[in-house]
Amino acid sequence: MTVLQALLAFSAAAALLTLTPGLDTAIVLRTAAVEGPRRAALAALGVIAGCLVWGAAVALGLGVLLQASALAFSLIKWAGAAYLLWLGVGLILKPRDRFQLSAPAGPLGSSDLAWMRRGFLTNLLNPKVGVFYISFLPQFLPAGVAAGPFIFLLAALHAAMGLGWFAVLIAATRPVADVLQRAAVVRWLDRLTGGVFVAFGVRLALERR
């Protein structure tokens, strides 16, 4: 797989994952609906900052491990494949019927930084983000490419997609929220995403260094 092929494949998968609603989406939508677009934009920037911190941490750790140890590569590969398969099968067999727009409230100050801090901490304190990056990003690493910088590039690309999607959410809060409340839409997105997870989990399990 060339660098271009890796970037194109990752972009296609990451775009779908970005559209699938989760806690970060709930925070941005809820803030936009209740507090207004400015504070929602700040919360979105905080979420993106959290993604970049996770991306940097995963890139540094995996970069060292993947370059230094074939055993570490194998362990990460099998653990990542099992995790993706577990997520994928769960989404296919038990898709959600509703996307909840509830998000942790907690005490906030009146400053703009408080809303950015909410988005940042919500993302940073969610270990599923780090586990997912560890499982998902290494399979798009082309042969002969330095692991750390390229993995961070993928994380940054995912963050850029998220920023664009959040902008759409904020600009069209009510229509998007209404669509995400439809059971058929949520089930379809979950099953499609589950299929992607299963496919990439199998691919990761069969990957050779």
Q: Indicate yes or no: pTM above 0.85.
A: no
pLDDT at residue 159, as a whole number: 93
Instruction: Give residue 68's pLDDT.
Output: 61
Digit-coded pLDDT (tens) for 7-18: 998 898 888 888
pLDDT at 24: 81
SS3 of the chain: the string is CCHHHHHHHHHHHHHHHHHCCCHHHHHHHHHHHHHCHHHHHHHHHHHHHHHHHHHHHHHHHHHHHHHHCHHHHHHHHHHHHHHHHHHHHHHHHCCCCCCCCCCCCCCCCCCHHHHHHHHHHHHHCCHHHHHHHHHHHHHHCCCCCCHHHHHHHHHHHHHHHHHHHHHHHHHCHHHHHHHHCCHHHHHHHHHHHHHHHHHHHHHHHHCCC
Residue 69 confidence (pLDDT): 63
pLDDT tens sequence across 11-48: 988 888 888 777 788 788 878 877 788 888 999 999 99
Give the Cα-Cα-Cα angle 157, 139, 71 (nearest 5 degrees). Answer: 130
Q: pLDDT class for 156, splitting at 50, 70, 90?
A: very high
Comparing 96 with 191, the larger pLDDT belongs to 191
Lowest mean pLDDT among 5-9, 156-160, 170-174: 170-174
Give the range with max mean pLDDT: 39-43, 68-72, 109-113, 194-198: 39-43
pLDDT tens, position by position, 93-136: 888 777 665 555 554 455 678 888 888 987 887 667 777 787 78
